[in-house]
């Protein structure tokens, strides 16, 4: 199987971090920006770094990106460039175009011109961080859908010394424990009969409201 190929337009903070993460994960990554310094900075990290203005249709057509798996439009400030490159990427046949928006109107335009997914990185990170602060814990949560998440929950004091079989959390709270972290080490082959300690972190999948309730039961 060949590595996935992505093109990232715009090397601001968001574009750089997406491009670096994709490249670190073994993907082929092409980055495009009209700023020479930013191109130099990424040249050793990604597969190809090209200095170009994305509003130049001819240059865009010579990039050879029509067979790429996805495009990330990480240009926030320059609305015209962000919209144009989204249209061009879709017209060139890229199946998945993810674009960053600065505001709601920008998001609406990006969707209208064909973006498959529109993100607001700062806004979304802000909401996630605020929710974590509200929960009163700093454990990780992964949103699986609008209803379900995977979350790290510290074992309740009353669970101390009881096995998962005894606790029967699936029946009691409708959550599934998929792993247990003991002293920072995650074990996903959890033994239903070994006792849970009060400092253990249980990795669970369940309804958001149930997980939030369990997470707030410590205080």
Residues in touch with ligand ADP (CB under 6 A):
10-15, 33-35, 38, 53-55, 74-78, 81
Q: Which is nearer to ligand ADP, 46 or 153 (CB)?
A: 46
Rounded Cα distance between 113 and 102, Å, is 16
Are 9 and 75 in contact by the 8 Å Cβ rule? The answer is yes
Cβ 46 to ligand ADP shortest distance, Å: 14
114 dihedral zone (left: phi>0; alpha: psi -120 to 50; beta): left
Cβ 50 to ligand ADP shortest distance, Å: 10
Cβ 93 to ligand ADP shortest distance, Å: 21
Give backbone dihedrals phi and psi of 37, rounded to 5 degrees, phi first.
-60, -40
Q: Which is nearer to ligand ADP, 14 or 159 (CB)?
A: 14
Q: Which is nearer to ligand ADP, 124 or 158 (CB)?
A: 124
Are 164 and 192 in contact by the 8 Å Cβ rule? The answer is yes
Cβ 52 to ligand ADP shortest distance, Å: 6
Cβ 9 to ligand ADP shortest distance, Å: 7
Q: Which is nearer to ligand ADP, 54 or 167 (CB)?
A: 54
- Rounded to the nearest 5 degrees, what angle is found at the Cα of 171, between the Cα atoms of 169 and 174? 75
Q: Which is nearer to ligand ADP, 40 or 199 (CB)?
A: 40
Cβ 207 to ligand ADP shortest distance, Å: 34
* Dihedral angle, C-alpha 89, 92, 95, 99, nearest 10 °: 0
Rounded Cα distance between 135 and 208, Å, is 12
| CB-neighbour burial class of residue 42 (10 A; exposed 0-12, middle 13-18, buried 19+) | buried
Q: Which is nearer to ligand ADP, 55 or 190 (CB)?
A: 55
Are 149 and 205 in contact by the 8 Å Cβ rule? The answer is yes
């Amino acid at each position: 199987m060949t590595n996935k190929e992505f093109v990232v337009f715009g090397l601001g903070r968001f574009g750089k971090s997406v491009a670096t993460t994709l490249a670190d994960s073994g993907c082929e990554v092409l980055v495009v920006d009209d700023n020479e310094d930013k191109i130099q900075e990424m040249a050793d990290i990604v597969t190809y770094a090209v200095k170009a203005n994305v509003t130049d249709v001819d240059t865009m057509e010579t990039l050879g990106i029509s067979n790429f798996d996805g495009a990330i439009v990480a240009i926030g400030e320059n609305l015209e460039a962000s919209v144009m490159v989204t249209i061009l990427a879709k017209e060139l046949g890229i199946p998945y175009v993810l674009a960053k928006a600065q505001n709601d109107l920008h998001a609406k335009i990006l969707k209208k011109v064909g973006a498959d997914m529109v993100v607001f990185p700062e806004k979304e990170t802000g909401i996630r961080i605020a929710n974590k602060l509200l929960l009163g814990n700093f454990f990780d949560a992964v949103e699986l859908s609008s209803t379900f998440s995977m979350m790290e929950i510290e074992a309740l004091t009353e669970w101390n010394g009881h096995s998962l079989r005894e606790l029967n959390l699936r029946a009691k709270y409708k959550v599934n424990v998929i792993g247990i972290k003991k002293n920072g080490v995650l074990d996903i082959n959890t033994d239903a009969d070994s006792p849970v300690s009060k400092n253990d972190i249980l990795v669970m999948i369940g309804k958001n409201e149930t997980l939030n309730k369990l997470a707030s039961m410590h205080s």
